[in-house]
Amino acid sequence: MKPVYVAGAAVHPFGKHPELNAAELGYRAVHSLLETTGITPDTVDTGFAGSSYGGSLLAQRVLQRVGISGQPAFTVENACASGASAIHLGWQAVASGAADAVIAFGAENLSSFGGGTLPLTTNDIEIEQGMVMPAAYAMRAQRYLHDFGATVDDLTAVSVKNRTNGALNERAHFQHEVTAQDVANSRPVADPLRLLHCCPNSDGAAAVLLCSQEVAEQLHTPRVRIRASVVRSGTFHTQYRDMTWPDITERTAKAAYAMAGLGPADLDLVELHDAFSIAELLHSEALGLAERGTAHRAVRDGDFDRHGRIAVNPSGGLMSRGHPVGATGATQICEAYWQLTGQAGSLQVPGASVALTHVTGGGIFGVDNGACSVHILTAD
Catalytic residues: 80
Beta bridge partners, 69, equal none
Residue 118 has what DSSP assignment?
Answer: P
Q: Do 308 and 266 form a contact (C-beta atoms < 8 A)?
A: no
Q: How far apart are CA 79 and CA 362, in angstroms?
A: 5
Element (H, E) at 221: none
Burial class (CB within 10 angstroms; exposed 0-12, middle 13-18, buried 19+) of 210: buried
Closest CA to 325 of 76, 57, 106: 106
Q: How far apart are CA 299 and CA 308, in angstroms?
A: 10
Q: How far apart are CA 339 and CA 348, in angstroms?
A: 6
Q: Do 84 and 50 form a contact (C-beta atoms < 8 A)?
A: yes
Q: How far apart are CA 87 and CA 93, in angstroms?
A: 10
Q: Is 194 helix (H, G, I), strand (E, B) or coil?
A: strand
Q: Is 158 helix (H, G, I), strand (E, B) or coil?
A: helix
Given the DSSP bridges, would you call strands 4-15 and 371-378 parallel, antiparallel or unpaired? unpaired
Element (H, E) at 283: helix 277-286
Q: How far apart are CA 220 and CA 224, in angstroms?
A: 12
Q: Do 84 and 375 form a contact (C-beta atoms < 8 A)?
A: yes
Q: How far apart are the first and last CA of the chain?
A: 17
Q: How far apart are CA 249 and CA 373, in angstroms?
A: 8
